[in-house]
Structure formats: C-alpha cells, structure tokens
Amino acid sequence: MTRLRVLFASTAAALGLSLAISAPVQADTLSKIRERGVLVCGVHPGLVGFGAPNSAGDWQGFDADFCKAFAAAIFEKPKVKFVPLSDQARFTALQNGEVDVLSRNSTWTLTRDTTMGLQFPVVDFFDGQGFLINKKLGVTKAAELDGATVCIQQGTTSEYVVRNFFDKLKITFKPVVIESGTEFFSAFFASRCDVITSDVSQLAVIRLNSGNPENYAILPDVISKSPMGPVVRGDDKHFADLVKWTVFATFTAEELGITKENVKQMLTSNNEDIRRLLGVTPGVGAGLGLKDDWVINVISAVGNYKEIFERNVGANTPLQMKRGQNSLWSDGGLLYAPLF
C-alpha cells in the first residue's frame, strides 16, 4: 500500500469511516434462482448415461442428477429447467446468464478456469482419453496399435495427446481428423479407421450406440487426465460454494453409509459426523444461505455418489463403467471431501 493510501486509511479510521478497497460486486445467483423458482441447468443435448431425456421427456443421467441435487439443496425438491447445449454454445450460455450452472461433461482446464469469467468449483467425474476398437482388430492394449489409423474429433486435444503417447511408445499412427460428432462416430463404424479415441465416458456411449456393443472393446489404457465437473460464473463465489459442497455432500454421504432409502432414519444416529452432515447438529446450512436440512433434501432426491454413479453409468447399466478413479479415497479412488 502506498504512503498516500496508508495516510488515507489512517485518517478514515480516525474519523470512524469504513474503507472498502477494490471489493468486486458479485452476482447473487442464489437470490435470482429463488426469485425465479427454478434452477436453470445446462446439459448435453443427449449423452446416454450422463444427460438425455427419456421417452417421457424427463432428463436422466449422471450430470442431470447433479442438476437435481443443486436444485434440491435450494428448494427442497429438485425444481430444474434443463437447457441442452452444444459444445460450442455451452460456455457462452453460462457467461450470458442463460443458465445458472453447467453440468455437462466439461473438462477443467487452465484457460477455461482463468480467461473466460468462469470457475470449476469441484470435480465430480474423473475421466481420461482412451481407445475404442473393433474386436476383430485383435489387439488388447494400445502398444499393439503400431501403424493404426485413428479417428480423432476436430477441435479437441485428442491428437496432441495421442501423438505424445505414441511417441513415448516409439510407434506410429495415421490420424483421421473428423469435424462433426455424428461423422466422428459413423467414420469409425464405416471402417475409415481402426480405432477411435476420446474420453472413456464418451467411448462407452459410442460403443453402446453401435447397435452391436459386443463387437467392440475399450482398451484398458487411459492416456490423459480429464477432470470434469459443474461450471459456474466466476463472479459469484457464494453460489460456487453451494455447488461445490453439494457435490462434497454426496461423497460424504457415501462414506457415512447414508443412502436415499435410509437418510430419514439416519436422523436418529448417535454418530456426530452424520448428525452434523444432516443438520441435526445445527450449522451446516448457514454459510451457504441454506436451511440446515439441505443435505437431507439432496440425498432424498438423488442419493449418495455411489447411487448416482451406479444408477446411471455403473457396471449394471448399458455403459458398464467401473468406479476406478471415481471411487472414494478410502477405496483407492480420487473422491475426497473436506470436513463438514
């Protein structure tokens, strides 16, 4: 602080005046949502298991469930307006206030987090780039793909990641760069390439949509980091905290054995961690501008993290995804919540 500002601050203090130094005015997203009566959530136009409408037009999936979780924290019931957004439109829609939050398989990167007026409060799904092959190719790991043609979607970092990976293995490949998502899938199934590379979650959907998923396999190699999570505007830390701690609540509920089915019975538990999380011991809502029973409403609406994962993308769903990195830290995964 300069000598002039120190003098001014001292004078203001002596006169009993308050001094605000560069305090940014923040948007009050939570108040706007309450006034509107519904949370507006940006989702994928149709990614099975993550965000897609069912035959009745109701949105289902992992990302859609977290939209419902955020809304349940605010309203007790999951009052959500789902807005399907393309890859190109998703961040602009959030910046412009068309949606309150994105819950739409978006990867956390430095550029997105620091230059676009946005913030990624938390990771709710750890993904990574992998390979999908036709089993007739006869390979079981990426090291056996020497000389393969690889379909890559334009405008992604996939080619850079694959090139680095193959260089390290000292093997070669021929990239086939495809512009649109639809052509990306059809090119692979039309045998224009031997292998298709993208995030493993997307490969699971592509395999499912093939019509003959038993003919295709996702190789075990995961060659990049792709931490995904909800995205909010960068001018409202308070709302970012609400989104972040809602996700943490689903992690912690799983740790403590709290489920959609037993959450009400858990209110009589003598475990102080459970009592604090569920608001029996007061204080869990005040810092977020919520009632102390907000976690009860979240778990009643969508369940804990395990329930959300297994219901939408887990081993017993058509996507057949394993928990892997998306297991709790205590089970060897990366999911770890700060203390409530």
Tens of pLDDT, residues 221-248: 999 999 999 999 999 999 999 999 999 9
State percent of the chain over pLDDT 70. 91
Q: In this predicted model, what pLDDT tens digit does every residue of 14-67 receive, in sequence order?
A: 444 444 333 344 579 999 999 999 999 999 998 999 999 999 999 999 999 999
Q: Of 82-86, 124-128, 176-180, 322-326, which gets the smallest average pLDDT? A: 176-180
The mean pLDDT of 77-99, rounded to a whole number, is: 95
Cα(314)–Cα(51) distance, integer angstroms: 15
Q: Is the pLDDT of residue 202 over 70?
A: yes
Cα(288)–Cα(236) distance, integer angstroms: 12
| 277 — pLDDT class (breaks 50, 70, 90) | very high
The mean pLDDT of 207-228, rounded to a whole number, is: 92
Q: Is the pLDDT of residue 11 over 60?
A: no
Cα(336)–Cα(329) distance, integer angstroms: 6
The mean pLDDT of 105-109, rounded to a whole number, is: 91
The mean pLDDT of 83-93, rounded to a whole number, is: 93
How far does Cα 177 stand from its chain's mean position?
Answer: 26
Q: What DSSP state is assigned to residue 328?
A: B
Query: Which phi-psi region, left, alpha or beta, contains residue 284 (left: φ > 0; alpha: ψ -120 to 50)?
Result: alpha
Cα(94)–Cα(306) distance, integer angstroms: 28
pLDDT at 130: 94
Cα(259)–Cα(301) distance, integer angstroms: 10
* CB of 340 closer than 8 Å to CB of 273: yes
